[in-house]
Amino acid sequence: MRLQHNRGNRWGRRLRTVGQCLRRWCADCMSNVYYRSSLRVKIIVPVFVITLVVIGILAWLSFTSLYTTIAGIYEQRARSVASVVSKSLQEKAYILYYSDQLESDIDTLMKRYDSIVGITVIGMTGRGLRVVASTDPSAVGRILAEDEQAALLPLRDVQVSRVRSGKEEYLRADYPLFMDGDLVGVVSVDMSLAEQQRYITRLSWKLGIASILGFLVLGFLLYSILDAIITRPILRLAAAAERVAQREYNVQVSAGPARRVGVKVRDEIARFIDVFNLMVKMIGSREQALREMIILDEETGAYTFSYFQRLIDQEIRKGLRYGHPTSILLIDIKGITELPAPDKRRLLQATANFLTGRLRSVDPVFRVSDQRFVALLPETPLSGARAAAERLASQVADLKVETGLAFTITIKAIGWSGEEPPKLDELLNQVRSPHEGS
């Protein structure tokens, strides 16, 4: 029992491991699809997949219906030909007794109907059904097998079936012959399906081409509608948001067609664009006011060094009074001095946004020089600051992908307890002096 229990535990651990691997793999796939594909790709792929399924189902239903109709037409044609052939033979007084004359009539009928590939006349004898005449000379005089007789003896009307001989398929119409209400024979007419196959092939090609055209037209029509309603407004919003992230606030996103006064807006994207435009105006006004107070750096949007001096003095005083730890991060950008002015400005803005987005909302970011930022981490011990520095360093690759520039970022953590705070002048000199990143 214990051995079985241990085996069960091993299998359970293996299954959990496999499940965890599958979940990680699915999460990686979803992340790659979500972040590495554009919004247009996310829309166009489902649209064309759905269009393909719908057009495929309609094409299959249409082809099935037409195929059934065409097959019914050819089966009715086989019945008609079998009826004509049987009546032509029944009009003869010899019907099933003079084989030579029957073969002559069969040859005449074969020349009259191009689609007929074979005629067999079967007569009733004392030993059962026997082939009286046929386009196949080797079959004349043959007594039908029991299963063949069992299929023909109950006939009371024309029976049409598909018969395959080698690679060819044809229709066989069995027409019963009666005399005084008794079955005296059967006329079997074999008709070629080559014409039907050629017709169905041409129809399949036409239907296939029509389906492809329908798929493309419907797919592009649906995509154009979704692109106009969703993709373009969101792309305009994304472009405007990028400009706002670069501290440009003279941005106004168009919601679409001109709106008449007094019309209530029900479209969610149009309402979102209105709120976005209002938000940009408010942010621009607020940032302008902060700049006038000399709190924000005009180029990057980070706080200024003078504001850092005020806050760090307050943090040292609070730490000394309440015993709370405080830490700072010194972030240096190596290689920025070699970049052109536009790239340098873009890198500074992107770095400020990167630090603001990765740190806590209570951790302000300051620009202290042309290539250095400082992040203040209130009530954070040195160990927490080092963990934050490691996390930021591991995510610098995202910043490099975003900017496409060559540079290196070094991050150093400095921390102290509330009981032993550093002297303000020494700390400010350390912040402003160059250092080697850790």
For 236-285, what is each residue's pLDDT tens digit? 888 888 888 877 888 888 767 776 766 777 777 888 888 888 888 888 88
Residues 186 and 301 in one domain: no
Instruction: Name the residue with higher pLDDT: 87 or 161.
Output: 161
Which CATH number belongs to the domain containing residue 392 in this structure? 3.30.70.270
Distance from C-alpha of 60 to C-alpha of 423, rounded to nearest angstrom: 82
Q: State which of 116-130, 230-244, 382-396 shows the largest mean pLDDT.
A: 382-396
Q: What is the DSSP secondary structure assignment for residue 137, as one 8-state letter? A: G
Residues 195 and 311 in one domain: no
Residue 48, domain member (yes or no): no
pLDDT of residue 109: 64
Q: Find the helix or strand (DSSP H, E) in which 158 lies.
A: none
pLDDT of residue 98: 44
Average pLDDT over residues 97-103: 54
Residue 159, domain member (yes or no): yes
What phi and psi, each to the nearest 5 degrees, are found at residue 378?
-65, 145
Report pLDDT digits (tens) over 316-344. 888 888 888 999 999 999 999 889 989 99
Average pLDDT over residues 130-142: 78
pLDDT of residue 436: 43
Judge residue 369's burial from the number of C-beta atoms within 10 Å of its C-beta, 0-12 exposed, 13-18 middle, 19 or more buried: middle
* Closest CA relative to residue 275, chosen from 287, 265, 285, 263: 265
Mean pLDDT of the chain: 81
Report pLDDT digits (tens) over 207-237. 888 888 888 888 888 888 888 878 888 888 8
Residue 11, domain member (yes or no): no
374, 431 Cβ separation under 8 angstroms: yes
Sign, CA dihedral 251-255-260-261, equals negative
Residue 403, domain member (yes or no): yes
Q: Helices in 113-168 by DSSP H: which ranges?
A: 146-152
Look at residues 199, 220, 249 and tell me which one is the last residue of a structural domain. Answer: 199
pLDDT-derived band at 111, boundaries 50, 70, 90 = low
Look at residues 173, 199, 225 and tell me which one is the last residue of a structural domain. Answer: 199
Residue 378, domain member (yes or no): yes
Report pLDDT digits (tens) over 25-42. 877 777 776 667 677 777
Which CATH number belongs to the domain containing residue 182 in this structure? 3.30.450.20
Residue 30, domain member (yes or no): no
Residues 421 and 303 in one domain: yes
* 225 token code pair: 């509608």
Look at residues 171, 199, 227 and tell me which one is the last residue of a structural domain. Answer: 199
Give the domain range for residue 194. 65-199
pLDDT-derived band at 386, boundaries 50, 70, 90 = very high
pTM of the model: 0.53
Residue 225, domain member (yes or no): no
Please state the domain count of the chain: 2
Residue 266, domain member (yes or no): no
134: pLDDT strictly greater than 80: no
Helix 99-112 and helix 39-90, axial crossing angle in degrees, nearest 10: 140
